């Protein structure tokens, strides 16, 4: 078997050679048409470009509701922080946390998260608790009170 006798495969398709003279049928303008922005080298126009007129997404009015302005964010605190800063039998309130500088901003309130272990009996008063935090607080013998 010789190289020139190998069967032709459908995968090897001859590429279109443009700009190789008038005899090729794709000379002169190299299939790019006459003049204009798209005939130039390096021309790439974004799909959303509408020729300089005001684009559709700017002509249409804004619609819908966005909750960003009214969203309520909570300052978070973990159980390991509470066990670090408080003694056994203490009552933890948002005012005390802010007073001691444990939290900077109270925002809409405080949410207690279950990161770490609580080994002290604390009464914690906060706006929100994670479900795991409540179980860990009660296992330590403390109370989780929702304000």
Question: What domains are defined for the chain?
Answer: 74-146 (3.100.10.10)
Which two tokens mark 115?
């990161």
At 25-52, the pLDDT tens digits run 898 988 888 898 888 888 888 988 998 9
pTM of the complete model beyond 0.75: no
The SS3 of residue 112 is: strand
How would residue 12 be classed by pLDDT, with cut points 50, 70 and 90?
confident
Mean pLDDT confidence for 70-83: 89
Cβ neighbourhood burial of 122 (10 Å; 0-12, 13-18, 19+)? buried
Q: How does the average pLDDT of the chain come out, rounded? A: 88
Give the pLDDT of residue 88. 87
Give the Cα-Cα-Cα angle 135, 130, 145 (nearest 5 degrees).
70
């Amino acid at each position: 078997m010789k190289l020139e006798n190998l069967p032709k495969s459908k995968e090897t398709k001859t590429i279109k050679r443009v700009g190789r003279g008038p005899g090729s049928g794709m000379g002169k303008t190299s299939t790019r048409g006459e003049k204009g922005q798209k005939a130039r080298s390096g021309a790439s126009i974004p799909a959303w470009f509408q020729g300089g007129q005001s684009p559709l997404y700017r002509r249409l009015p804004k619609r819908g509701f966005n909750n960003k302005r009214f969203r309520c964010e909570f300052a978070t605190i973990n159980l390991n922080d509470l066990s670090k800063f408080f003694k056994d039998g203490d009552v933890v309130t948002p005012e005390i946390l802010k007073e001691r500088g444990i939290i900077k901003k109270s925002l809409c309130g405080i949410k207690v998260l279950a990161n770490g272990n609580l080994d002290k009996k604390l009464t914690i008063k906060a706006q929100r608790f994670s479900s795991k935090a409540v179980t860990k607080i009660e296992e330590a013998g403390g109370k989780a009170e929702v304000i």
